[in-house]
Amino acid sequence: MPSWQSRIGSLLIRTLVKRRPKEEEREVVRQLRSWLDDSRFVRRSLPVGLTARPSNVMGVRGEWLDWTDQTVSRTLVYFHGGGYIACSPLTHRPITVALTRLLRTRTFVPEYRLAPEHRFPAAVEDALRAYRGLLARQVDPREIVMAGDSAGGGLLLGTLVALRDAGEPLPAAAACFSPWTDLAATSSSLDYNDRRDTMFYGESIRRAALVYLGNASPRDPLASPVYADLTGLPPIVVHASRSEVLLDDSIRLASRARECGVEVELEVWNGLPHAWQMLVGLVPEAEQSLQRVASFLDSHLPFLSTRSAQDTLAVNRHFRIFG
């Protein structure tokens, strides 16, 4: 059963966020940006020992999270969600700060270009440049992991496919929170979870896809990685909620990855809002999910000699996972 904190959080999200989408593109964009970029919900403070600074990696703006008390070589690249239309490194600090703390990495969050000003494949181009910029700085790909939520999860997967196709070195592992993997909008959960999802209607997803894609094919594997050949991708962990409209995007992605021989772990959680990891510090399931994902990513990275975060990587064995 979901915690009382998550039930209250879901009720608030449903009340404040869930709206039927407008038909005009500019209204879709205005709605999403007003809902998802609301400064009242942005966490600006940082824990002691962690700093944030704007940066530029091979022409891609973004935010570095780094430690003041030691130098670490392990690097997390995080792709924020927001339907390819909204949000920023700042809005997603709850997740990026938590993963940086748990994994003891330095973290780069690209501020990739957003639609409709910059449609597909602009976001993929920026993601590729940012990753290649890290390699140009002599960051070892074996010490890089990637993570992303919602559209950021789909962007992560499309980036991995593009890197694989180009014959470039891939990161050690990846994590996706409720990834958006089918912009053709064929997942059945867009309809059967239309009322249960506390944040979005299925139609909201369909309209956001049109804003991002423009005239591009919705089945382009770099936009919709559920249609891609995923052979050769690194190990992937996926967390999703049973009640969200994007549930089948996660299930189908995991199934496709297994078909292609990719090591994949899928966990489906009950009664939680889309991308509930953003509620870390407010609902226990957010911390639990992040801990489990950090444990997965940590197991694929080189041993970290300074293990100050080891206690927080311990998995909560008493939490029931449905998957």
Q: With beta carbons less than 8 A apart as the criterion, state whether 103 and 294 touch.
A: yes
Helix (H) or strand (E) holding 139: none
- φ/ψ of 245, rounded to 5, equals -70, -20
User: Catalytic residue among 6, 10, 150, 178, which?
Assistant: 150
Task: Classify strands 50-57 and 60-67 as parallel, antiparallel or unpaired.
Answer: antiparallel
Q: Which long-range contacts (CB under 8 A, 24 or more apart) does 53-60 make?
A: 55/108, 57/108, 57/110, 57/129, 57/130, 57/133, 57/134, 57/137, 58/129, 58/130, 58/132, 58/133, 58/136, 59/129, 59/133, 60/110, 60/111, 60/112, 60/126, 60/129, 60/130, 60/133
- Reply yes or no on whether 111 is catalytic: no
Q: Does residue 189 have an active-site annotation?
A: no
φ, ψ for residue 124 (rounded to 5)?
-65, -40
| C-alpha distance across the termini of the chain, in Å | 14
Q: Which of 241, 274, 285, 287 is catalytic?
A: 274
Q: Is 274 a residue of the active site?
A: yes
User: What's the rounded Cα separation, in Å, for the pair 194 and 35?
Assistant: 18
Question: CA 304: distance to chain centroid?
Answer: 24
Considering 63, 244, 285, 287, which one is annotated as catalytic? 244
Residue 248, sorted as left (phi over 0), alpha (psi -120 to 50) or beta, turns out to be alpha
Instruction: Write out the catalytic residue numbers.
Output: 150, 244, 274
